[in-house]
Amino acid sequence: MPSREDVVELSTMFKLIMRNANTEWNKRMQGNMSLSQFKLLYWLKQGGQQRVSDLAEKMCISAAAITGLADKLSADGNIDRVRDEEDRRVVYIDITDKGKATLDQISDDQKETLSMMLDCLDPEDIAHLKRIFKKLSVQFHT
């Protein structure tokens, strides 16, 4: 079990890395798409048309927040909203072809950004990082 000091130090480092990654994201996107909007497109591409409430649960945010994210994505033509024919209160969101293309382009940019961030690591460091990430992934899925 890690010591309290290790947990605090790792937490601080992780927050700094995430803050820097978020800053880089915002620079590259120039306000055109938030990270949350990107995640919404990602979930739609993975799962197809989904109810607002289901997306809210997956993303751990409120249905109202999903609606807010969807407003801009819809205005930009990246998603479509579809009302349930049997229950008009239920709204489905689906990614459009334009949304898929947008997601693919941003994913390429994201990979380029990550590559730039990892550029300071030698192959041995990258191998260690991959091993640690795999171990943590298994821990979260058990």
Give the residue extent of every domain in the chain: 1-31, 34-140
CB 38 within 8 A of CB 103: yes
Q: What is the pTM of this model?
A: 0.74
* Selection from 15, 17, 35, 16 nearest residue 25 by Cα: 35
Would you give per-residue pLDDT tens digits along the chain (142 residues)? 889 999 999 999 999 998 988 888 888 887 788 888 999 999 999 999 999 999 999 999 999 999 999 999 999 999 999 988 898 888 899 999 999 999 999 888 888 888 988 999 999 999 999 999 999 988 877 6
- For domain 34-140, the question of CATH label 1.10.10.10 is answered with yes
* Selection from 76, 46, 81 nearest residue 66 by Cα: 81
- Amino acid of residue 88: R
Structure tokens at 99: 């949304």
